[in-house]
Structure 1
Amino acid sequence: MTVKVVESQQELEDAYSVRRVVFVEEQHVPIEEEIDQYEEDSVHFVMYNNGLPIGAGRFRVIDGFGKVERICVLKNARKHGAGKAIMDSIEAYAVDSSIHKLKLNAQTHAVPFYEKIGYKVISNEFMDAGIPHKTMMKNV
């Protein structure tokens, strides 16, 4: 498995393809909410396994914080360290960019995953795209 910063239109399409499967098809998030107005302001990440895209995420800077968004892994690739590898890559990118406070909005079922890698819940539960979330933060 390899995680890379998106550098081409094909890699961006690969990241979008994973996001469409996970968020739009599996979780029924409307496509217009999933692919949003922040795409061009984000640094995108894509994970490949044997040349096939299996994971994605994006990162942007808001008010001095790194905002980690759209972390997803295809169903058949979950539970094998893919999510952690994507997060490790995003966190390394943030540190290289001198960003040391990261924030994300985790779906509540994913909170234990993020807690395991050092994120702390900083909000009450809220709904986003019809899915319960909590905001989490980590210093890197």
Structure 2
Amino acid sequence: MSLKTIEAASEKEIQDALSIRKLVFVGEQQISQELEFDGLDDECIHFVGYSNSEPISAGRLRILNNKGKVQRICVLKEFRGLDAGKQIMEKIHQTAKDHNVSQLVLNAQETAIPFYEKLGYTISSDFFYEAGIRHAEMTFNLN
């Protein structure tokens, strides 16, 4: 299986990323479409992962004042555990560095915290609920 992760540049690539988010967050996790598609997509850099030209993973990065907000990281269920999520995060880290971002922050679902900790993120808040799911804020310094 050939996994490839890219910064989504074309309208088709962005739509591929949005379709994965819809399948995972709206379909699988039952998050409302209004919460998932929050009107901020136009301000973000989108990422999409492919397995043999089929989209399987997605994420986005919002940059505000040299800080990056990593959001909407997701992988189709049948492709989890195959490094697709790690590839998305590595691509986001590289893009953030290219934009002179010094720190990344994300709100991790509780079940995803071990994944982010393996990548070097540390918990930086108490637990809170977002879209009815327990989360914690996590940070990562790129320097």
Give the TM-score normalised by the residue count of structure 1: 0.98
- Alignment-derived partner of residue 84 in structure 2: 82
Aligned to 1:106, the other structure's residue is in SS state strand
Residues 1-140 of structure 1 aligned to structure 2 (within 5 Å) = 1-140=3-142
Structure 1 Cα separation of the partners of residues 64 and 29 of structure 2: 26
The number of residue pairs the alignment matches comes to 140
Output one character per residue of 1:52-103: Cα deviation in whole Å (capped at 9) or x when no partner: 0000000011243110000000000000111100000000000111102000
Structure 1 Cα separation of the partners of residues 112 and 50 of structure 2: 22
Give the CA deviation at 1:17: 0.8
Structure 1 Cα separation of the partners of residues 47 and 126 of structure 2: 28
Unaligned runs of 5+ in 1: none
State the identity as a percent: 46
Partner amino acid for 2:17? A
Unaligned runs of 5+ in 2: none
Give the CA deviation at 1:8: 1.1
Structure 2 Cα separation of the partners of residues 123 and 138 of structure 1: 13
Aligned to 2:116, the other structure's residue is in SS state helix
Which portions of structure 1, spanning 4 or more consecutive aligned residues, are displaced by more than 4 angstroms?
none
> What is the root-mean-square deviation in Å for CA atoms of aligned residues?
0.7
Structure 2 Cα separation of the partners of residues 62 and 127 of structure 1: 23
Structure 2 Cα separation of the partners of residues 57 and 17 of structure 1: 11
